[in-house]
Amino acid sequence: MSTDATTHAHEGAEHHSHPSASFYVWIGIILAVVTGVEVAIFYIEAMDAYEAPLLVLLSAAKVVLVIMFFMHLKMEPRFLTWVFMAGVVLATFMVGALMVIYHVLPRFGG
Amino acid sequence: MAQAATAAVDEHGHTSTGVSNWKVGFWTFIASECLFFGTLISTYMVYKGRAVVGPYPDEIFDVLHTTISTTVLLFSSLAFVLALHAVQNARKKAGILWLFFVIAMGAVFLYMEGTSYLKYIDYGLTLGSSTFGSAYYVLTGTHKLHVILGIVWIGALIWLLFRDRIPPAKSEQVEIAGLYWHFVDIIWIVIFTLVYLIQ
């Protein structure tokens, strides 16, 4: 039973095909363009009100592109995504909790 | 128990997960690195705007300069994935060439960030000048140490490729180094946004 599971898993892994070189170049170009948009948002004063959320969103999009395609997480078994996400979720929770403790609660006398 | 342990990796190196144990271990390491950099980013964000003595971020940061170094690091990630693609397809020379580009771009990134450090020190921002200085240098300095380690690792890969020690069947060695390099790139994407753009 375990041998069957091993074989099937290995066959499944072999079926993952990586994208072509030109696909990677396109991802690189998209990353550069998004970086340009981020810097434009930074300099355009009219965008000041939406600056922080927009920049965080664009930055997150860049991170997802690198992880999915350059690190091939999209082509790997799903459990690797869970391994990685465990670290990301814990780190995000920690940063968020500290921001609340030091920047939000003091405004309410906390 | 012993049977389960032997079933996890068979005689051909196949695992029950379909992924090599090296890769699973490295993804776990990357997850732990997320927490490590999370603590440094938290520290920077907590002290952000609380420094009582200057210089302050908006007085010294040169966003255009950092944008160029960020783009260089982004393209080094592209060069790495092209190197891996070449090694997997038995194009050793192309793989070596792309890895040389990665090292060159990593070195350019370090040089540009180094010149920024010198400028900030001239302005009076040092590790001990303010909470902002301490948090900034520890966060970005730790990232630069990771870049230096990555360059050394890639140098070792080039040496192994020259000596034909990494055939296409063993390209996972290059892939794992790539995971590290791309992670270093991801961390800089986050630092660039949180430290330089959202001031």
The answer for B 126-155 residues in CB contact with A (under 8 A) is none
- The structural domain count of chain A equals 2
Residue whose token pair is 């920077």:
B44
Residues B41, A70, A83, CA angle at the centre, nearest 5°? 60
Q: How confident is the model at residue B148 (pLDDT cuts 50, 70, 90)?
A: very high
Residues A4 and A20 in one domain: yes
The residues near A70 (Cβ < 8 Å, ≥ 6 apart) are A24, A27, B77, B78, B80, B81, B178, B182, B185
Residues A57 and A17 in one domain: yes
d(CA B100, CA B83): 9
Q: Are residues A5 and A59 in the same domain?
A: yes
Nearest residue in B to A79, CA atom: B17
- In whole angstroms, what is the distance from residue B18 CA to residue B10 CA? 11
User: Is B129 within 8 Å of B59 (Cβ atoms)?
Assistant: no
pLDDT reading at A107 higher than 50? yes
* pLDDT-derived band at A11, boundaries 50, 70, 90: very low
Are A63 and A27 contained in the same domain? yes
Verify that A15 and A68 share a domain, yes or no.
yes
Record: contact B34-A52, CB cut-off 8 A: no
Question: Are A61 and A29 contained in the same domain?
Answer: yes
**Residue B2: inside a domain, yes or no?**
no
Dmax (CA) of chain B: 64
Q: Decide if B132 contacts B56 (C-beta within 8 A).
A: yes
Q: Is B93 part of the contact surface with chain A (CB cutoff 8 Å)?
A: no
Assess if residue B9 is contained within a domain.
no
Question: Is residue B65, in this structure, part of any structural domain at all?
Answer: yes
Q: What is chain A's Cα-based Rg?
A: 20
The two three-digit tokens of residue B104, written as one number: 């060159």
B contact residues 53-92, partner A, Cβ 8 Å cutoff:
63-64, 67, 70-71, 74-75, 77-78, 80-82, 85, 88
A81 shares contact with chain B (CB less than 8 Å): no
DSSP state of A76: S
Contact between A13 and B197 using a beta-carbon 8 Å cutoff: no
CATH of the domain at B50: 1.20.120.80
Domain extent at residue B43: 19-197
In percent, the amount of chain B with pLDDT more than 90 equals: 83
In a domain, B169, yes or no: yes
Q: Looking at the domain assignment, is residue B120 inside a domain?
A: yes
**Same domain? A85 vs A68:** no
- The alpha carbon of residue A15 is apart from the nearest alpha carbon of chain B, in Å, by 11
Determine whether A68 is exposed, middle or buried from the number of CB atoms within 10 Å of its CB (0-12, 13-18, 19+).
middle
B13 in a domain, yes or no?
A: no
CA A97 to chain centroid, in Å, comes to 20
Within-domain flag for B41: yes
Please, what sign has the CA dihedral across residues B103, B107, B113, B114? positive
Phi and psi angles of residue B52, each rounded to the nearest 5 degrees, phi first:
-95, -15
Tens of pLDDT, residue by residue over B152-191, are 999 999 999 999 999 999 999 999 999 999 999 999 999 9
Phi then psi for residue A55, to 5 deg, are: -65, -40
The pTM of this model reads 0.90
Count: domains in chain B: 1
Which DSSP letter does residue A67 get? I
- Taking only the tens place, the pLDDT of each residue in A38-86 is 999 999 998 888 999 999 999 999 999 999 999 999 999 999 999 999 9
Q: Are A43 and A21 part of one and the same domain? A: yes
> Which residues of chain A lie closer than 8 angstroms to B34, CB-CB?
84, 87-88, 90-91
The reply to whether A54 touches chain B by the CB within 8 Å rule is: no
Q: What is the pLDDT of residue B70?
A: 97
Instruction: Look at residue B92 and tell me if it is in a domain.
Output: yes
Same domain, A71 and A31: yes
Residues A60 and A49 in one domain: yes
Tokens of B98: 């792309």
DSSP H or E run through B24: helix B21-47
Dist CA B74 CA B81 (whole Å) = 11
CA nearest B70 in A: which residue? A35
In chain B, residues with a C-beta closer than 8 Å to the C-beta of A43 are 63
Identity of the residue numbered A61:
A
Domain range for A87 is 77-110
Same domain, A87 and A65: no
Looking at the fold, whether A108 and A90 belong to one and the same domain comes out as yes
Q: Is B3 on the interface with A (CB under 8 A)?
A: yes
